[in-house]
């Protein structure tokens, strides 16, 4: 268990830092312009959403570990509720940020994905920690 958690921490950190480095350095122009073939205007437009979403790989690793542990201990109902929470937060954030704050769709969706995932991870933290405490006692 401890080795799995250690690997997940390193993976999440590596992926998150990798994406933020790409987003805030000139590498982003190489990626967006050369590899993706975007025009300069779209490349510049893509930087902010990329910076915002750079935490998503780390959150995805975290929720994957939480779900894996919960499934292995046959406690899957929190996963269902976390998914409902995540999707609901995404939809609510999209509506509020586009209608009330007049954000562009891509920025609104990225913020929605991040907020939804944070809420799902937070919800799963409670049942995950119960199992984690049982594992650490053994």
pTM of the model: 0.88
Name, in order, each residue with C-beta under 8 angstroms of 71's C-beta and a sequence gap of 6 or more: 79
Name, in order, each residue with C-beta under 8 angstroms of 96's C-beta and a sequence gap of 6 or more: none
Nearest to 87 by CA among 53, 62, 112, 106: 112
User: What is the pLDDT of the chain when averaged over all its residues?
Assistant: 94
Q: What percentage of the chain has pLDDT greater than the value 90? A: 80
* Strand spans (E) along 12-70: none
Name, in order, each residue with C-beta under 8 angstroms of 90's C-beta and a sequence gap of 6 or more: 109, 112, 113, 115, 116
**Each residue's pLDDT tens digit, 6-46:** 999 999 999 999 999 989 999 998 989 999 999 999 988 88
**Does residue 64 or residue 136 have the better pLDDT?**
64
Give the pLDDT band (50/70/90) at residue 2. Answer: confident
Q: What percentage of the chain has pLDDT greater than the value 70? A: 100
Residues 74, 128, 85, CA angle at the centre, nearest 5°? 90
Average pLDDT over residues 54-82: 96
- At residue 121, the pLDDT reads 98
Residue entry with tokens 């999209």: 94
**Does residue 85 or residue 34 have the better pLDDT?**
85
Give the pLDDT band (50/70/90) at residue 137. Answer: confident
Burial class (CB in 10 A: 0-12, 13-18, 19+), 23: buried
Q: How many residues does the chain have?
A: 138
**Each residue's pLDDT tens digit, 98-121:** 999 999 999 999 999 999 999 999
Q: Looking at the predicted structure, is the pLDDT value of residue 138 above 80? A: no
């Amino acid at each position: 268990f401890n080795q799995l958690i250690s690997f997940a921490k390193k993976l999440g950190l590596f992926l998150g830092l990798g994406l933020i480095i790409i987003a805030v350095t000139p590498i982003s122009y190489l990626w967006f312009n050369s590899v993706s073939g975007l025009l300069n205007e779209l490349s510049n437009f893509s930087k902010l959403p990329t910076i915002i979403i750079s935490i998503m790989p780390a959150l995805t690793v975290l929720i994957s570990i939480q779900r894996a542990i919960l499934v292995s201990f046959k406690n899957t109902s929190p996963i269902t509720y976390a998914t409902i929470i995540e999707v609901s937060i995404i939809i609510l954030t999209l509506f509020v940020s586009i209608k009330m704050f007049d954000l562009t769709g891509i920025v609104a969706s990225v913020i929605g994905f991040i907020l939804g995932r944070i809420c799902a991870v937070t919800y799963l933290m409670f049942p995950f920690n119960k199992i984690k405490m049982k594992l650490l006692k053994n």
